[in-house]
Amino acid sequence: MPKENVKRLLCYLGFWVTGIIFLVIEKRDRLVSFHAMQSLVTFGILNIIWGVALSIRSWAGAMVSVSGSTWSPTYIATSVLFFSFFALWWLLWAVLLYKTSSGWTYRVPIFADLTDIFLGVIDKDKSPPPEEGDDTL
């Protein structure tokens, strides 16, 4: 695996934390900056959503213990939603790791658009965003 792909892969390895690290330390490689910002935006937002979902699930669990019922429809529904979200999170992470290690620039829908906006603010550069599979910037 080329050295550039390793840096890009590491942007996703620790979710938004490594995104922040590589955004700070890597200034020259625009693709590394893109992957770092996409990791920060994607997993930062997903982490907030996960926290809200966990709170709702905990609230539903508290309602179950107050009512004395073992399985309430609210608790089952919130548990299914919570674990579905969790599975999709890990699937997205695996796809990003695989695509990036293969040298592809995968643009996560919605999050990549936010990434472009934030990079534009940081760089004050209006160059076009990378296309999927494009390894030149």
Q: pLDDT tens, 13-44?
A: 888 788 888 888 887 778 888 888 889 999 99
* Per-residue tokens: 9: 């892969």
Q: From CA 11, how far away is CA 119, in angstroms rounded?
A: 15
| Cα–Cα distance list, 65 to 9, 42, 83 (Å) | 43, 34, 20
Is residue 109 situated within a structural domain? yes
pLDDT for 12: 86
* CA 134 to mean position of chain CA atoms: 20
* Domains of the chain: total: 1
Residue with tokens 């992470």: 93
Is residue 132 situated within a structural domain? no
Question: Is the predicted pLDDT of residue 105 greater than 80, yes or no?
Answer: yes
pLDDT for 95: 92
Is residue 99 situated within a structural domain? yes
Is residue 135 situated within a structural domain? no
Q: From CA 42, how far away is CA 37, in angstroms rounded?
A: 8
Q: Provide the domain limits for residue 108.
A: 3-123
Is residue 136 situated within a structural domain? no
Listed in sequence order, the DSSP H helices in 1-126 are: 3-13, 16-25, 30-67, 73-101, 111-123
pLDDT for 61: 66
**Residue 133's pLDDT band (cuts 50, 70, 90):** low
What's the pTM value of the predicted model, to 2 decimals? Answer: 0.71
* Contact present, 42 and 111 (Cβ < 8 Å): yes
Q: CA angle, corner 107, sides to 21 and 32, nearest 5?
A: 30
Q: pLDDT tens, 54-96?
A: 787 777 666 665 556 666 677 777 778 888 888 988 999 999 9
pLDDT for 73: 74
Q: Is the C-alpha dihedral spanning 114, 120, 126, 131 positive or negative? A: negative
